[in-house]
Structure 1
Amino acid sequence: MRKILRIATLISTAVLTLAACGSNDEEPKAPSAPSGVTAQAASATSVHVMWNQAPAKAGLGGYTVYRGGKKVKDVPATRNMTDVTGLKPSTAYTFTVRARDTDGTLSPHSADTPVTTPGAVAEDRKAPARPTGLTGKSDGPRGALLKWGKAAGHQGITSYDIRQGGTRIHSVRGDTTTARVTRLRPGTHYRFTVTARDAADNISSASRSVEITTPRGSGDDPDTAPTAFRATTHTADGAYYLDLSWLAPRTGAGTGVPSYQIHLDGAFATTLAWGGEPPRGRATHSMQVGKSGGTYRVKLRAQLPDGNWGAFSTELTVTTGGGRP
């Protein structure tokens, strides 16, 4: 009897051991190593590191940047670039990036990315001239192509920074005057500028802006334009008003749209911002357009969760009347 109990105990222990070993297969896997890592010398003492941002559904908690295998900076998951400063002039460096999930698990290192900082320069606080002649066009529903004229700088231009609505989103070498911007949203309006940076880390003022609207393609994100747009008129206290109503686009944010831009006759007229909770169904707004009758072309667009402006609604033509109210 004792022998039988001993055998049963051994079998039970073996089963528990196998179950414990098998549970390792169910543990979450480490995230994939970031791809597309680049390192661009921004000045004699700084390097700009960029990489391809993982999709939101990957559930990452952030990224970690390494210089020669040594950790130098943590970056939140919402960003895919950073500046590494305090470097030595005329020095070769190697950078890698690792992705980090919300539990702190790190991915393998990305491929080594070498870069050499330019030579030291005399102290200089004079900013380069701003880039000129910026032009741009859409490059499919998720990209844009930008081109500009070479800027002049006393210490030479080491890099150009591309900015979207004032926020830097990309950098290219100082001997390059073109850039392709990716990861844009289909059917969305964007505004870009470019700044120049010299070897002393002085930054120019921004170029003139260029505005680009990406086209929509089959199977792309839901349309960002307000729908079921309507426009009527009324008069009150000696003035004419446009009465607008529409359905908000589905932005995927789970909340209403907090702000809209209204355009009259092809030009920006006003920004409408809700003071409280945005309406979930049909939104309405009445705006004064003057004390004499006239014909207006009106359209509007929504501000998206990422801060960009979506596509315009259908443009409507409205006549307020030919005489005084």
Structure 2
Amino acid sequence: MRPTPTLAALSTTAACLVALTATSCSSDSGAAEPPDTPAVPTGVTVYTSSSTSAHVMWNRSAAAEEIRRYEVYRNGTKIQNVPAAKHMVDITGLKPSTSYTFSVRARDADGKVSGAGKATPVTTPSADSDDSKPPTRPATLKARADGPRSATLTWTKAEDNKGITSYDIFQEGTKIHSVGGTKTTASVTTLRPGTRYTFTVKARDAADNSGPDSPPATVTTEPAPEGKARAELPTDLQATAKKEAGAWSLDLVWNAPKAGGDITEYEVYLNGKFGSKLVLGESAPKETGRINLPLEKQEKATYAVKVRAKLPDGKWGPFTKEVEVTAGS
């Protein structure tokens, strides 16, 4: 049995997932894995974002609902844990003009881990200490919906005195992905049907200078086919009033929505107003949410409670139906 590695903290960032239209620069190992072991993640691709950083991405596991997290290895040593809802990560702290290899393993809820597959090589560009001039902005950015859950972004090439090493893609101000400096298009995936998204793009050079934002591009995904919409609501919300040490509180519990990845953040509203936020850590159970809300009023009162989840694409999902509960003396 393999030892279980220490979990590393990873901040949860927005939300949508982006995959390049380009194919991977290496093939994955075809070696057979032991029975019941997660499949080796395929399509591992690495782009240098600057002389000291790289962007690693891979295809989601075929059995994505069984994967708890992905583990990223640099030169054979694990350096990062990535939540199952993501399939890309930025790696920083690299050295200029240095060769590295990256590979990815999948770990399921039972702790079983896949093989690493064939490592993907990359060499960081050299650093130019005299390069303080940032790239220009991409002059145009266009977004086209490709169905209910994906869109294609296309932009004009930026200019730089030393050369562009990458383009950073932002969704409503939050960086969600990077692509190589020779690319001017990317496919944005795992979006929600019938939802409006706004994107911008920045160019970056080897000295890590970032240029200005491109003009924004807005797109609305197509509606979901009849009967095909993915569940985005927390289910089975239950609210219980209880009194402890003379003080009343509400105990809330619900099941996580089946939205294609772990849900790590919820908002709770009482009587139509924001009441509390629940943020789940790396090791917290992701199948359910639970929170206890102290009540200021001690006289008898009825509360209407509803909950919504922040989905893997970074958008807030719809609220549950309100559940009423009475508390107080």
Q: Does 1:211 align with 2:197?
A: no
Alignment correspondent of 1:122: 129
Q: 1:208, CA displacement in angstroms?
A: 2.2
Q: Equivalents in 2 of 1:105, 1:76: separation in Å?
A: 15
Alignment correspondent of 2:273: 274
Q: Does 1:190 align with 2:197?
A: yes
Aligned counterpart in structure 1 of residue 150 of structure 2, from 119, 129, 143: 143
Whether the 8 Å contact between 2:51 and 2:95 is mirrored in structure 1 is: yes
Q: When the two structures are superposed, what TM-score results if normalisation uses the length of structure 1? A: 0.59
Structure 1 gap segments, 5+ residues each? 1-26, 225-250, 260-272, 282-301, 312-325
Query: 1:288-299 counterparts in 2 under 5 A?
Result: none
Q: Equivalents in 1 of 2:274, 2:131: separation in Å?
A: 47
Q: 1:111, CA displacement in angstroms?
A: 3.4
Alignment correspondent of 1:4: none
Q: Equivalents in 2 of 1:128, 1:69: separation in Å?
A: 34
Q: 1:143, CA displacement in angstroms?
A: 1.2
Q: Equivalents in 2 of 1:200, 1:216: separation in Å?
A: 42
Whether the 8 Å contact between 2:142 and 2:217 is mirrored in structure 1 is: yes
Q: When the two structures are superposed, what TM-score results if normalisation uses the length of structure 2? A: 0.59
Q: 1:56, CA displacement in angstroms?
A: 8.8
Q: Equivalents in 2 of 1:96, 1:30: separation in Å?
A: 17
SS at match of 1:275: strand
Q: 1:223, CA displacement in angstroms?
A: 8.7
Q: Does 1:97 align with 2:96?
A: no
Whether the 8 Å contact between 2:231 and 2:258 is mirrored in structure 1 is: no
Query: 1:31-110 counterparts in 2 under 5 A?
Result: 31-54=38-61, 58-110=65-117
Q: 1:82, CA displacement in angstroms?
A: 1.9
Q: 1:177, CA displacement in angstroms?
A: 1.1
Counterparts in 2 of 1:222 and 1:152: CA distance versus 1, 3 Å: same
> Which is worse superposed, 62-71 or 86-95?
86-95
Q: 1:210, CA displacement in angstroms?
A: 1.2
Q: Equivalents in 2 of 1:198, 1:100: separation in Å?
A: 34
Alignment correspondent of 2:229: 221
Q: Which runs of 4+ in 1 moved over 6 A?
A: none
Counterparts in 2 of 1:192 and 1:56: CA distance versus 1, 3 Å: farther
Q: Give the aligned length.
A: 229
Aligned counterpart in structure 2 of residue 172 of structure 1, from 171, 179, 182: 179
Q: Could you report, residue by residue, the CA deviation over 1:22-57 in whole angstroms, capped at 9, with x for unpaired residues? A: xxxxx9822222222210011122211112234896
Alignment correspondent of 2:207: 200
SS at match of 2:140: strand
| Structure with higher helix content | 1
Q: Equivalents in 2 of 1:84, 1:309: separation in Å?
A: 27
Structure 2 gap segments, 5+ residues each? 1-33, 233-256, 277-302, 319-329
Q: Equivalents in 1 of 2:64, 2:79: separation in Å?
A: 26
Q: Equivalents in 2 of 1:113, 1:183: separation in Å?
A: 25
Counterparts in 2 of 1:122 and 1:195: CA distance versus 1, 3 Å: same
Q: Equivalents in 2 of 1:213, 1:276: separation in Å?
A: 30
- Higher RCO structure, 1 or 2 (CA under 8 Å, sep 6+): 2
Percent of pairs with identical residues: 50
